[in-house]
Amino acid sequence: MVDVGDDAPDFTAPLANGDVEEFTLSENLDEGPIVLAFFPGAFTGVCTTEMATFEEQLDEFHEADATVYGVSVDAPFSLNEFRDQEDLSFGLISDSNKEIIDDYDVEMDFADMGYYGVAKRSVFVVDEDGRIADKWVTDDPGVEPDYEAVREAAAEAAEAAD
């Protein structure tokens, strides 16, 4: 289990940012604290609300010197369509091989719906040294993170790096 103070598991995965590019966490740590917002699936109610809320508050995250990325097991092309439909300006990381959710120990199943291996709604703040500065994980996909607490954790991680 990944916990606060641990090294963040590194990964390379497709990044949906209007195009599809390769994203490696360790190569982007200079973007300030990185907020990895894991969500179960694009085009679903609470996930759409969560990503829209991050978008609405993106300026505040930038003021905290943080960079936000969404992470889900959806294909990068689906994530680009989701970004377009929801007017998201931040990148979405495709974990279609489910390695990231496994490494971060945030994999869950919706067995009653026959859907297996999706991300638990969770948020990790990774500091510029590649360590987990903060984490929030829920087993209830209907619960959203405390966005203010995430921003504060990111701001604290940025201040600690200065």
Q: Exactly one of 42, 47, 79, 93 is catalytic; which is it?
A: 47
Number of residues written out for the chain: 162
DSSP assigned state of 8: P
C-beta of residue 72 within 8 angstroms of C-beta of residue 40: yes
Does 47 qualify as catalytic in the annotation? yes
Q: Which residue has the tokens 């510029």?
A: 128
Q: Which long-range contacts (CB under 8 A, 24 or more apart) does 43-47 make?
A: 43/78, 43/82, 43/85, 46/121, 46/141, 46/142, 46/143, 46/144, 47/72, 47/121
Beta strands in 2-150 (DSSP E): 12-16, 20-24, 34-38, 67-72, 92-94, 107-110, 115-119, 122-126, 132-137
Active-site residue set: 47
